[in-house]
Structure formats: structure tokens, C-alpha cells
């Protein structure tokens, strides 16, 4: 009998290869995630505010336009809810 390569209609060897490759990559990914955690822990130990560092990194990843857009919508809502001083609205402009 030939070595089993198909079971239930699937190519066992190929499937096993796929699963193993992914598991290997996920291990590597997890290792790097652990490294990142270590750096944050070290930073914290040196008195840095890790939450702020995360924010900085996030801002650096976004391009300027994205930052602009997000803050615009948020500010619009805050103004609508009276959380920020109002700017001249379109309506008021027209009325003028």
C-alpha cells in the first residue's frame, strides 16, 4: 500500500504543511509581540508613560490628513453637544 496521502478526500501532506507553516509563523509573531511588551515594560520601569508612547506611535503611523479628518468629525460632534465653543455655522453665515 502506498503511504497515505489522501484521507476523506483531502491531501493530507499538503494540509499538514500548510498548518505547520502557519503555526511556525504565528510562533514568530508571538515572540515579537513579547519583545514589544518587554520594551514597554522597560520604558515603564524608566518612568515613561506607556499609554502616551502608544499614542505617539499611533500618530506617527497615521499621516497628517487622517489625523485631521478624525479630529474634525470629533470636534464637530463636540460642538454640536456644547462641549466646545461654537464656530460660525453655515446657517449663520447665510443669515449675515
Sites of contact with DNA (CB under 7 A): 26, 29, 33, 36-37, 40-41, 44-45, 50-51, 54-55, 58
Least gap, CB of 54 to DNA (angstroms): 4
Q: Which does 41 bind (CB under 5 to 8 A by kind): DNA, a second copy, none?
A: DNA
- Residue 25 grid cell: 509563523
- Residue 89 grid cell: 455655522
Applying CB under 8 A, the residues found at the interface with a second copy are 6-12, 14-16, 18-19, 21-23, 25-26, 28-29, 32-33, 35-36, 39-40, 42-43, 46, 48-49, 51-53, 55-57, 59-60, 63, 70, 73-74, 76-81, 83, 86-87, 89-91
Least gap, CB of 41 to DNA (angstroms): 5
CB atoms within 10 A of CB 53: 14
If you search the block for the grid coordinates 513579547, which residue do you land on? 34
Taking Cα atoms as reference points, which of 63, 60, 56, 61 lies closest to residue 40?
56
Taking Cα atoms as reference points, which of 18, 15, 19 lies closest to residue 7?
15
Amino acid at each position: 500500500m502506498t503511504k497515505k496521502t489522501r484521507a476523506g478526500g483531502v491531501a493530507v501532506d499538503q494540509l499538514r504543511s500548510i498548518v505547520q507553516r502557519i503555526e511556525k509563523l504565528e510562533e514568530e509573531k508571538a515572540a515579537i509581540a513579547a519583545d514589544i511588551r518587554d520594551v514597554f515594560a522597560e520604558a515603564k520601569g524608566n518612568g515613561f508613560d506607556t499609554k502616551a508612547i502608544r499614542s505617539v506611535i499611533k500618530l506617527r503611523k497615521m499621516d497628517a490628513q487622517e489625523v485631521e479628518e478624525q479630529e474634525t468629525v470629533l470636534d464637530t460632534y463636540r460642538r454640536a453637544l456644547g462641549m466646545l465653543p461654537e464656530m460660525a455655522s453655515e446657517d449663520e453665515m447665510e443669515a449675515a
